[in-house]
Amino acid sequence: MSTPGSELWRLDAARTRSISAENPTGAPGAGARATDGTGAHAARLLGPGWKVSPSIHLAAGETATLADISGPGVLRHCWLTTDRSALGLITLRMYWDAEPQPAIELPLGDFFCNGWDELALVRSEMVVVAPAGGLNSYWPMPFRAHARITLHNGGARAVPVYYQFTYTEQDVPADAGYLHALRRTGTPLGAPAVHTILDTVPGPGRYVGTYLAIRPGAPGWWGEGELKFYLDGDTTHPTLCGTGTEDYFGGAWNFDLDGAYRTYSTPYLGLHQVLPSDEIYRPQQRFGMYRWHIRDPICYQRELRVTMQALGWHDDGTYLPLENADIATTALWYQGPVRGIRA
């Protein structure tokens, strides 16, 4: 895919469309025509066109299709908001073209770097989480014939869902890949203390992002483990190997400055969540961090596998495998249409 913003100068045949509760089909001139909806009472003195249908109610156990789009096109911006306490109970699924399985299937919060039960703000190029729970994705998502987006409420009560998906109707290049997202967990991690972020997926493709939520399960520093990318036939040893968890996410020296963790959120990487924020080196602390490989995509031709070691320190200065760690990762990558890739 192109670098964000690189297409803004093009005056081609693309047309912008947007799907929301105010225009469920995205059809031209079809917005703000509702005569009933969640805002009908508030708009009763104003009439049609005045925010009559800004949202939907998603009942417990219900699956709602938020968007059903004919292609070709590119999804450009996804915005949602809902009950912040339900982010881990709502499943987001996205389907491209004729694939029967979703290319994206994970809890709503994890797609937006919010895997814990407290909201974390994110100020990155591809994902923005704004006060007080505005969830934004700028990942470009091309599709050729069809795109479908659903939400499933796995909780015990109904939640409101406000949403808007903006896309362009346009031709899609022959070499464009489909965005995939996969969440994997290790709770607890067990032995060996190696977490598989992405099992072997076929190429050609580009790996573009990692979100990590971790609870180390042991006192002391927890981020000595390397992230490893096995490309195109690598077996025992990877082609790409980092120097430590905090290094991969752009930090250094244990994220520790003057005896405290310091959070940061930048366009391409961040340690955006530390819970609780006023402690350090505690076994039950929780952390959230992300890295987007936009300027430095990891390109492969035949296959890719991604792993992460979980390592802390023994008192004698040797590495401590964190077998009791709780880890959840979300991997994002682009690839061609291949069926059957799941966790």
Residue extents of the structural domains in the chain: 15-176, 179-335
pLDDT of residue 117: 94
Element (H, E) at 309: strand 303-309
Any residues with CB less than 8 A from the CB of 139 and at least 6 apart, and which? 126, 127, 179, 208, 332
Give the 3-state secondary structure of residue 79: strand
Confirm whether 15-176 and 179-335 share one CATH topology. Answer: yes
Q: How far apart are CA 175 and CA 313, in angstroms?
A: 45
For strands 104-107 and 178-186, give the pairing.
parallel
Tell me, what's the pLDDT at 98?
Answer: 85
Homologous superfamily (CATH) for 15-176: Protein of unknown function DUF2961 (2.60.120.1390)
Residue indicated by tokens 């573009």: 208
pLDDT of residue 41: 86
Give residue 4's pLDDT: 52
For domain 179-335, give the CATH number.
Answer: 2.60.120.1390
pLDDT of residue 9: 72
pLDDT in tens, the chain (343 residues): 455 556 677 778 899 999 999 999 999 999 998 888 899 888 888 888 999 889 999 999 999 999 999 999 999 999 999 999 999 999 999 999 988 999 999 999 999 999 999 999 999 999 999 999 999 999 999 999 999 999 999 999 999 999 999 999 999 999 999 999 999 999 999 999 999 999 999 999 999 999 999 999 999 999 999 999 999 999 999 999 999 999 999 999 999 999 999 999 999 999 999 999 999 999 999 999 999 999 999 999 999 999 999 999 999 999 999 999 999 999 999 998 755 444 4
Residue 251 DSSP label: -
As given in the structure block, the two tokens for residue 312 are 């802390």
Q: Are 76 and 166 in contact (CB under 8 A)?
A: yes
- What b-and-e string marks burial along 212-241, b requiring 16 or more CB atoms within 10 Å of the CB? bbbbbbbebbbbbbbbbbbbeebeeebebe
* Distance separating alpha carbons of residues 173 and 72, to the nearest angstrom: 10
Quick check: 115 and 213 in contact, CB under 8 A?
A: yes
Using CA atoms, how far apart are residues 56 and 329, in angstroms rounded to an integer?
Answer: 30
**What integer pLDDT is reported at residue 337 of this predicted model?**
76
| Three-state DSSP state, 254 | helix
> Residue 90 corresponds to which amino acid?
I
Residue 291 pLDDT: 98
* Interacting residues of 40 by C-beta distance below 8 A, sequence separation 6+: 34, 52, 53
Q: Among residues 263, 219, 244, 255, which one has the least CA distance to residue 308?
A: 244
The answer to whether 333 and 109 are in contact (CB under 8 A) is no
CB 183 within 8 A of CB 330: yes
Q: What is the dihedral of CA 113, 116, 118, 120, to 10 degrees?
A: -20
Give CA–CA dist 92/335, Å, rounded: 19
Interatomic CA distance for residues 95 and 220, integer angstroms: 42
